Amino acid sequence: MLVVVTSITDHETFSDKAAHGCFFPASVYTQWYNTLMDMSAPIEEAKGVGPKTAEAFRQVNIRTLGDLLYCLPRVYENYQTAVPIADLRPGKAVVRGKISNLQATRTKRRNLTITEGTISDETGSIRTVWFNQPYRAKQFDPNREYYFSGKYEYKNGRYVLTAPSAQLAVDANAGESTGFQPIYSQKSAIKPEVFRKIINGLRDRFADIPDLLPFGEKIPAYIGPGARAEALYRSHFPESPEDAELGRQYLAYEEIFELILAAKLNKLENQRLKAMPIEFHRDFIQTIVGSLPFRLTNAQRQATWEILQDIGGDMPMNRLLQGDVGSGKTVVSAIAAAEATMNGYQTALLAPTAILATQHFESFVKLFSALQSKNHGLKLPRIALLTGATRAKDELKQQIEQGEIDLVIGTHALLTDNTHFKNLALCIIDEQHRFGVGQRQKLLLKSPEGTAPHLLSMTATPIPRSLQLTVFGDLDVSLLNELPPGRQPISTKILPELQQTDQLYPEMRKILAKKQQIYWICQAIEENNRNTVTSVKKQLTKIAQLFPEARVEMLHGRMSADDKDDVMDRFSRGQIDILVSTTVVEVGVDVPNANMIIIQDAENYGLAQLHQLRGRVGRGDQPASCFLLTTSEKPSRRLREMEKSTDGFHLAEVDLKIRGPGEIYGAMQHGELNLQVANLTDTTVITAASRHAEAFAKHPEDMIQYKELATRIRKYQQLTTLN
Ligand code: ADP
Ligand code: MG
């Protein structure tokens, strides 16, 4: 019999129950004294997994029994809540019935597959509809009963049950008394039902799942011996929502523990490396700061100070400079670069696009020549730009190797194997999340043999504090949490597309009359039958017709690097009035005369991305505006938050609440690393797991005893190394 525990207390936990031998059903205990399950055994060891299924699993990186067991249900359905069709109310609903009249059709305009059918029970019938799930038309046996769980809502003039999950009623009840069911997501070619069968086949072996985490004092009781086996069992075969939640809590703890342990071990490893100390020259720094064209903000001063402290030591700095768009990160990095030069060392600055590298190069040249003219004899960096388009690359690389260049600003072109430095001591990576781990690593390996460079990563993607601990646990963070004074607020407005003629075009004309510039953002480059969004190419034609007096051009990722540079260059010189572009302009671009941005199909973007895009305007001393065009009748919460706030940190917190951390984290790491179970708003779990991991990390030699843990965290370590 399963023991259902509704809440975890310190005194009575399900681990205690396992220890007393009453957690697993009897069928599971028949296996109890068998050897522990080898979590690294190939998936073929599971019943029902033949060579073909195994291959399909491997396609999605599921290779071992462990991988299989950690494919947790996407959601749980409670079929006990099923109601007779006659009693249905709008909202989330479960019904039990037979389905008939199944028919799949394709819409012409949007090329969607719509599958419709009629669900009936003794009390009545309803229509149901699925979008883009053509297999639904063939999934059902009209003579058998299924549970359908979906949203009952009013659409296009009638009530329908939208996109329900479905399950054979006999299956759903097999061996269960509660009707509470895990629903798996489709993996590769493996249907959820098949997946459920495979997991079911392993059911009797759950008690043999070995422990993973080290035990110690002061860990929550639900982490003790046997807890992992129980948690996985509860997740796959829950009796109630509470049961599933208990399972999730343990697994979340485990996930956070692993992440933080990986980060701590990285940090330890990093500290064992030797960096070249960049000595702090107080007078020199004061002279530089004193002759800047503006006063540094307090946040900039603080960050600069933290960085100069770090690089003065012989332990490599690993610091993230986090600041909202326009907060002035560049000048902070420039001061660090100048100090490196003063010490006779080289600095490399890596930027994700040629546009951005060029812009950095120009602003550094401007900054340093202004300093030079005020302070003759000041030793300032000799700067070079290295991008794919740089001519005479070989000569430049030779100069770099011989130490004739102090500061190289570049793109991926910097990372090639034949770029060598004489004495690279400081690396700066702008918009660091745009680079993969491998790329960052390549740059860091360019310092002299036996040394590691100091690393300053910069990002304008604000990371909520709760996420920071786990995602960037091995980094020190400096925060630019204030904007330079005098910035004009950006007014933001949600606008239904139908109103653009009346409300938007006149505003655009005003901007053009002031000789200011406009960005128009579209999601797609060209129309195709798979998307319904407006494309750059189509919009370009339309805008050129609407504003014949304006110089309108386009920018998108499929243009050659040279063409992109050329367009961006002319836009920043004011030779283009309206730039119709995809999100390639999202990162870092600084054109202070551009004061209006229009984002078409705004509903399709994430909050972070909208904020980045909006950050392209309001960079000068003129008021700026942002229009969020939408086709939906009721604007989403995201858009409304954009309208309300321009504070990137606030928006990041909101984003975390709306989307959950998995998606944000996933996006930040190019989907390489995604939190599966942990809910980062669950601060108690995080605090406990992080304390536990920290204590364990003090004795890294103990890892030898925890082979599975070591393997599991290696994957995180590779991803967070030198983030
Ligand atoms: P970001 O943090 O987005 O990279 P930048 O470094 O590009 O921001 O700075 C944005 C603009 O603000 C630049 O034009 C820069 O010269 C200016 N700036 C930076 N710091 C200050 C300051 N303390 N006071 C006034 N303007 C500043
Ligand atoms: Mg920047």
Ligand 1 site, residue 428, Cβ cutoff 6 A: no
- Looking at per-residue pLDDT, the higher value among 11 and 309 belongs to 309
Average pLDDT over residues 4-8: 31
β-sheet bridge partners, residue 496: 630
> Is 60 exceeded by the pLDDT of residue 664?
no
Q: What is the pLDDT, as a whole number, of residue 720?
A: 45
Report the separation in Å between the CA atom of 328 and the middle of ligand 1, taken as the mean of its atom positions.
3
Q: What is the pLDDT, as a whole number, of residue 229?
A: 92
Q: What is the pLDDT, as a whole number, of residue 197?
A: 87
Ligand 1 site, residue 331, Cβ cutoff 6 A: yes
> Is 80 exceeded by the pLDDT of residue 417?
yes
Ligand 1 site, residue 590, Cβ cutoff 6 A: yes
Report the separation in Å between the CA atom of 437 and the middle of ligand 1, taken as the mean of its atom positions.
28
> Is 80 exceeded by the pLDDT of residue 432?
no
Residue whose entry in the numeric block shows the structure tokens 């600055």: 349
- Which of 107-111, 127-131, 430-434, 579-583 comes out lowest in average pLDDT? 107-111
Ligand 1 site, residue 447, Cβ cutoff 6 A: no
For residue 131, what pLDDT band results from cuts at 50, 70 and 90? confident
Average pLDDT over residues 369-373: 86
Q: What is the pLDDT, as a whole number, of residue 648?
A: 83
> Is 80 exceeded by the pLDDT of residue 667?
no
Nearest protein CA to atom 23 of ligand 1, as residue: 296
- Looking at per-residue pLDDT, the higher value among 532 and 625 belongs to 625
β-sheet bridge partners, residue 169: none
> Is 70 exceeded by the pLDDT of residue 723?
no
For the segment 14-71, what is each residue's pLDDT rounded down to a tens digit?
A: 444 444 345 666 655 554 455 788 999 999 999 989 999 999 999 888 999 999 999 8
β-sheet bridge partners, residue 711: none
CA distance 471 to 679: 13
CA distance 413 to 57: 37
For residue 407, what pLDDT band results from cuts at 50, 70 and 90? very high
For residue 589, what pLDDT band results from cuts at 50, 70 and 90? confident
For the segment 188-215, what is each residue's pLDDT rounded down to a tens digit?
A: 678 777 888 899 899 888 888 999 998 8
Share the mean pLDDT of the chain: 84
Amino acid sitting at position 175 = G
Across the chain, which distance is largest between two alpha carbons, in Å?
93
- Which of 337-351, 388-402, 698-712 comes out lowest in average pLDDT? 698-712
> Is 80 exceeded by the pLDDT of residue 73?
yes
Query: For residue 432, which ligand has an atom nearest its CA?
Result: 2
For residue 468, what pLDDT band results from cuts at 50, 70 and 90? low
**Can you give 83-132 as a three-state secondary structure string?**
CCHHHCCCEEEEEEEEEEEEEEEECCCCCCEEEEEEEEECCEEEEEEEEC
Ion ligand 2 neighbours, Cβ < 5 Å: 588
Q: What is the pLDDT, as a whole number, of residue 722?
A: 40
For the segment 325-368, what is each residue's pLDDT rounded down to a tens digit?
A: 788 999 999 999 999 999 999 999 999 888 889 889 988 998 99
Ligand 1 atom with the shortest distance to the CA of 615: 3
- Looking at per-residue pLDDT, the higher value among 435 and 525 belongs to 525
Query: For residue 329, which ligand has an atom nearest its CA?
Result: 1
Average pLDDT over residues 660-680: 50
Q: What is the pLDDT, as a whole number, of residue 620?
A: 79
- Looking at per-residue pLDDT, the higher value among 314 and 239 belongs to 314
* Helix or strand run (H / E) with residue 678: none
Greatest mean pLDDT among 30-34, 198-202, 518-522, 589-593: 518-522
Ligand 1 site, residue 325, Cβ cutoff 6 A: yes
Ligand 1 site, residue 448, Cβ cutoff 6 A: no
Nearest protein CA to atom 4 of ligand 1, as residue: 329
Average pLDDT over residues 551-579: 90
CA distance 185 to 75: 9
- Which of 397-406, 534-543, 561-570 comes out lowest in average pLDDT? 561-570
Nearest CA-CA partner of 668 in 467, 443, 411, 438:
467
Average pLDDT over residues 83-87: 93
Report the separation in Å between the CA atom of 327 and the middle of ligand 2, taken as the mean of its atom positions.
8
Handedness of CA 388, 394, 399, 401 (dihedral sign): positive
For residue 666, what pLDDT band results from cuts at 50, 70 and 90? very low
Q: What is the pLDDT, as a whole number, of residue 105?
A: 87
Pocket mutation for ligand 1, best pick of 301, 325, 590 (most atoms within 8 Å of C-beta): 590
Greatest mean pLDDT among 357-361, 399-403, 450-454, 601-605: 399-403
Report the separation in Å between the CA atom of 557 and the middle of ligand 1, taken as the mean of its atom positions.
27
For the segment 280-308, what is each residue's pLDDT rounded down to a tens digit?
A: 999 999 999 998 989 999 999 999 999 99
Nearest protein CA to atom 13 of ligand 1, as residue: 328
Report the separation in Å between the CA atom of 333 and the middle of ligand 1, taken as the mean of its atom positions.
11
Report the separation in Å between the CA atom of 484 and the middle of ligand 1, taken as the mean of its atom positions.
7
Q: What is the pLDDT, as a whole number, of residue 491?
A: 94
Ligand 1 atom with the shortest distance to the CA of 330: 6
Ligand 1 site, residue 329, Cβ cutoff 6 A: yes
Nearest protein CA to atom 12 of ligand 1, as residue: 328
Nearest protein CA to atom 15 of ligand 1, as residue: 328
Q: Are strands 124-131 and 113-121 parallel, antiparallel or unpaired?
A: antiparallel
Task: Give the other-Cβ count within 10 Å of 84's Cβ.
Answer: 13
Pocket mutation for ligand 1, best pick of 294, 335, 621 (most atoms within 8 Å of C-beta): 294
Greatest mean pLDDT among 167-176, 299-308, 453-462: 299-308
* Helix or strand run (H / E) with residue 494: strand 490-496
Report the separation in Å between the CA atom of 596 and the middle of ligand 1, taken as the mean of its atom positions.
19
Q: What is the pLDDT, as a whole number, of residue 460?
A: 80
Residue whose entry in the numeric block shows the structure tokens 């990371």: 463
Report the separation in Å between the CA atom of 300 and the middle of ligand 1, taken as the mean of its atom positions.
10
Pocket mutation for ligand 1, best pick of 327, 365, 429, 480 (most atoms within 8 Å of C-beta): 327
pTM for this predicted structure: 0.68
Report the separation in Å between the CA atom of 339 and the middle of ligand 2, taken as the mean of its atom positions.
20
- Looking at per-residue pLDDT, the higher value among 158 and 219 belongs to 158
For residue 470, what pLDDT band results from cuts at 50, 70 and 90? low
Ligand 1 site, residue 330, Cβ cutoff 6 A: yes
Long-range contacts from 206-209, C-beta under 8 angstroms, 24+ separation:
206/24, 206/28, 206/232, 206/233, 206/236, 207/24, 207/28, 207/29, 207/31, 207/32, 208/31, 208/32, 208/34, 208/35, 208/36, 208/37, 209/36, 209/37, 209/39, 209/69
Q: What is the pLDDT, as a whole number, of residue 16?
A: 43
3-state DSSP assignment of residue 429? strand
Report the separation in Å between the CA atom of 620 and the middle of ligand 2, taken as the mean of its atom positions.
14
Report the separation in Å between the CA atom of 166 and the middle of ligand 2, taken as the mean of its atom positions.
49
Q: At what angle do helices 298-311 and 329-342 cross, to 10 degrees?
A: 30
Ligand 1 atom with the shortest distance to the CA of 295: 23
> Is 90 exceeded by the pLDDT of residue 129?
yes
> Is 50 exceeded by the pLDDT of residue 680?
yes
Q: Which residues contact 365 (CB under 8 A, 6 or more apart)?
A: 383
